[in-house]
Structure 1
């Protein structure tokens, strides 16, 4: 093991499904998946337990396909608040061993324990102790990879599930890592895999031995980066501040329970989404000056459009108005919509100085924000649907959603470092 760095990658096995089993132990004895609401067209498998694995059920496939494979499959709607709560409890255990913990989504994290070995033992000893504590204290199993960089640590945690512990060091990485399929490497998606396969690159070892000049010619900078990953040259730091950085965008999208055929229906959805975005902006402490929308019709054709405004906003009313204007300009009405999104970019901390105008527009926006904050407070205390606009009653199928509570949290880890 490289004495300069010891990195762990910890992965909570089948995270959502495991937490559901912890909350309801009877679920351990039946094939079970966590998935969305089929009737609301959110019927995708998010996680599966070990009992469901023999049926060939895959994460990301439609629930209806999974039910064909296993008619007795038990489907549980996701409880994101519970998943956040328990995964944070797991990370609290990680932080008892090091303050260098970088989250990679809810269920994964890198730990730099280089400076912790004098207190807690070797990387392998620390990994084993963390595994045991997470299981004893929370009833969850985790797989851990131990290595000298983040890439190989993640490869290690992926190799054995559940509760695997794999060490990939400078002496054995060519034996353990190079035999793995190239698609196991972080940042190698299906398109990149297909291109590499056409070049005769099927394993990580094949990639490591390929001319870096050829990779740069075929893939650009990403080819050079992936070559460095395969050769163990990745040296990005474990960065606890990744999730605290200014986000590039705050937005929400929704696949609606029925097709959107007119602007009245679209406005109901955009009103919900705009309120969610504005609330999340304020909670994060940001305003933005670029509003963007995304739409997808029943033919699965997509369109994204944006507009930059001359001030920064975190007001739902303004976001909604701009979103509807963009929709009016870009939806040809030929086909109904089945997915709608809105977001804000160009973000800055809300403490940025505000330039007041002569016509009271800033004051009007600030008054509107105050009203929205009061509504949020009422919803927070009494429930989202306890206070609403009359327009929400026009179509309760479209308004019966709290997008802020349901929005998915995606991985935010970023790999940065020199390429040797």
Structure 2
């Protein structure tokens, strides 16, 4: 049976959801972005009117305003984006039990065999899904329909205005081969440059080259993209829940960090956020990592394993402070900090070995965990600023951020 796989992409997702909620935004050049004064001043998404000014995702607000002085910047509302993108995928799941998310706005849908159930062709099903998403949620999605995931993804990029491109075994050479090599998955700027240096500019050039030759300078990645270009992708649509491998959070500070005390203000809030998310996921972690980015944008990360897996903020903070002191070149101020915890285990399945002698330490851990849970309950009821650690008051500008920041969902790995 021939496979039929849809790749669906919500067009300029964040901006379109804002337009759907507030239709007046469709009449002005608008972009989703952070606050420049808070040093989060980049474009996250833009609407069609802003696109006409050649405003690009990822560029600074300063550059965007130079292109379009009347550009309206809307702050991101992640809870809304999570809700509506999940509603879109709820519609997808009515047509297949094999729906694989690729970030918030993209997903693969394996409808192989579903045509018989609905008595429609694969293309008719794709068109029906597009119509339903627009009718029920007011959102447009572009789609690619093909016999593999890579070409389906490629097809959804061909027409970003509620388009539908069908790439089959019969027409893929005509549709795919003329496209630039950078259009396919896993070919970024560096790989594209390496291919271009060897006069390989199009996917047809890549497909018709010797696999061994491509592999000779790109390694295993070269073999993979050669297979992709030739349509040999057989990866399945993975509908299983994503396995959480780590929990982390990070922030770019409102001003450069010069001292250990300033760093602790930021790290304590990040540790609190990470510990809360570990508890919400019922996880414990034994590898604690810190990420540091200097004022000159050079960065480094360090990690250390703890003897007992934890989801206690104070224990996470204690470890990252050790890592900070051991590795920070204090001659250069820090611009941003991050914390992550990995090597996760389920809390219920972890066999905790109690000590026969050091019971005081175990009681301290229990009391600290209980304290943090009470603090979290207070914040959830009365707001994040209702209770603070005393040291955060030493620099209220550094502590003036939400611990929900940095919790964006990024695309999971394409390869399994």
Q: Which residue of 2 aligns with 1:104?
A: 102
Q: Equivalents in 2 of 1:334, 1:301: separation in Å? A: 13
Query: Does residue 1:404 correspond to 2:404, yes or no?
Result: yes
Specify which of 32, 38, 41 is matched with residue 39 of structure 2. 41
Q: Which residue of 2 aligns with 1:395?
A: 395
Query: Does residue 1:90 correspond to 2:88, yes or no?
Result: yes
Specify which of 277, 302, 306 is matched with residue 309 of structure 1. 306
CA displacement at 1:414 relative to structure 2: 2.6
Aligned to 2:115, what secondary structure does the other structure show?
helix
Bigger CA drift: 332-341 or 114-123? 114-123
Specify which of 276, 285, 292 is matched with residue 289 of structure 2. 292
Aligned to 1:403, what secondary structure does the other structure show?
coil
Q: Equivalents in 1 of 2:112, 2:377: separation in Å? A: 44
| Contact 2:249–2:405 (8 Å) recurs in 1 | no
CA displacement at 1:6 relative to structure 2: 0.7
Query: Does residue 1:153 correspond to 2:152, yes or no?
Result: yes
Q: Equivalents in 1 of 2:114, 2:248: separation in Å? A: 39
Aligned to 1:397, what secondary structure does the other structure show?
coil
Query: Does residue 1:345 correspond to 2:342, yes or no?
Result: yes
| Contact 2:179–2:202 (8 Å) recurs in 1 | yes
| Contact 1:14–1:47 (8 Å) recurs in 2 | yes
Q: Which residue of 2 aligns with 1:373?
A: 373
| Contact 1:178–1:205 (8 Å) recurs in 2 | yes
Number of aligned residue pairs: 412
| Contact 2:100–2:239 (8 Å) recurs in 1 | yes
Aligned to 2:157, what secondary structure does the other structure show?
helix
CA displacement at 1:191 relative to structure 2: 1.1
Q: Equivalents in 2 of 1:312, 1:331: separation in Å? A: 25
Q: Equivalents in 1 of 2:37, 2:130: separation in Å? A: 39
Cα shift readout 1:137-195 (whole Å, capped 9, x = no counterpart) = 11100001101111000001010011000100111111111111111111111111111
Change (3 A) 1:326 1:111: same
CA displacement at 1:253 relative to structure 2: 1.3
Aligned to 1:98, what secondary structure does the other structure show?
coil
Q: Which residue of 2 aligns with 1:256?
A: 253
Q: List runs of 5+ in structure 1 lacking aligned partners.
A: none
Q: List runs of 5+ in structure 2 lacking aligned partners.
A: none
Q: Which residue of 2 aligns with 1:14?
A: 12
Query: Does residue 1:214 correspond to 2:210, yes or no?
Result: no
Q: Equivalents in 1 of 2:380, 2:206: separation in Å? A: 51
Cα shift readout 1:192-212 (whole Å, capped 9, x = no counterpart) = 111111121211111111211
| Contact 2:251–2:405 (8 Å) recurs in 1 | no
Stretches of 4+ moved more than 4 A in 1? Answer: none
RMSD across aligned C-alpha pairs, in angstroms?
Answer: 1.3
| Contact 2:249–2:406 (8 Å) recurs in 1 | no
CA displacement at 1:364 relative to structure 2: 2.4
Bigger CA drift: 122-131 or 357-366? 357-366
Q: Equivalents in 2 of 1:144, 1:383: separation in Å? A: 41
Aligned to 2:166, what secondary structure does the other structure show?
strand
Aligned to 1:220, what secondary structure does the other structure show?
helix
Q: TM-score, normalised by structure 1?
A: 0.96
Aligned to 1:414, what secondary structure does the other structure show?
coil
Q: TM-score, normalised by structure 2?
A: 0.96
